[in-house]
Amino acid sequence: MKKQIAIFASGSGSNAENIIRYFQHSPQAEIALLVCNRPDAPVLQRVQPFGTPCSLITPSGLQDPDTILPILQNKQIDFIVLAGFLLRIPAFLVEAYPQAIVNIHPALLPKFGGKGMYGINIHRAVLEAGETRSGVTIHYINEHFDEGEHIAQYTCPVLSDDTPESLAGRILELEHRHYPAVIEKLLG
């Protein structure tokens, strides 16, 4: 049986699209569902050509086991991948999917993590701190922002003439290159 993956996303969806493409013909897993918390999120249009079923969830719905769990159970979800999902995952969901919810963070945790550390904010903070390396951290989710067990980290240099946007571009390349392959390994 193929593993059933749900992608949780809130934004533009380049990682979601990349993961869907990666697993499109996989004998091991398939993307069975996209869960999104913003009805205007570009990710919803981005995944349409793939025919990926989508479910909109409100912040309160995510916090309600009687709302989110049936959505996931209906699609027989085995594994959850966060791809730019900006809401905190509730403890009951972490308990329902132990070691089966992963995230990619666009910095080298434990630095530059936690509430408010997302998007361009992270890259700005990395540059302001004078870091010479940045990268991505793929980690399991627990009930706290960006504190779950690390699975893998991949790095790139911070260049002297970097802007938050130029650094963000190199980080996104790392995300696209490594996230799907790490997910595949975790599904074993």
Q: What percent of the chain has pLDDT over 90?
A: 95
pLDDT exceeds cutoff 90 at 82: yes
Report how far residue 15's alpha carbon sits from residue 173's, in angstroms, rounded to the nearest whole number.
Answer: 10
Computed on alpha carbons and rounded to an integer, the radius of gyration of the chain in Å comes to 16
pLDDT band at 45 (very low <50, low <70, confident <90, very high): very high
Report how far residue 30's alpha carbon sits from residue 170's, in angstroms, rounded to the nearest whole number.
Answer: 27
pLDDT band at 100 (very low <50, low <70, confident <90, very high): very high
**Long-range pairs of 62-65 with CB within 8 A, sequence gap ≥ 24:** 62/37, 62/87, 62/89, 62/90, 62/93, 63/90, 65/92, 65/93, 65/96
152-188 tens-digit pLDDT: 999 999 999 999 999 999 999 999 999 999 999 999 8
φ/ψ of residue 105, rounded to 5: -110, 135
pTM value is: 0.96
Mean pLDDT of the chain: 97
Report how far residue 10's alpha carbon sits from residue 40's, in angstroms, rounded to the nearest whole number.
Answer: 9
Q: Which two tokens stand for residue 14?
A: 């380049």
Could you say which of 25, 105, 144, 178 is catalytic? 105
> Rounded mean pLDDT of 118-126?
96
Which uninterrupted H or E stretch holds 35?
Answer: strand 29-36
The reported pLDDT for the residue numbered 144 is 85
Dihedral Cα 10, 16, 20, 21, nearest 10 deg: 150
pLDDT band at 116 (very low <50, low <70, confident <90, very high): confident
Residue 105 a catalytic site member? yes
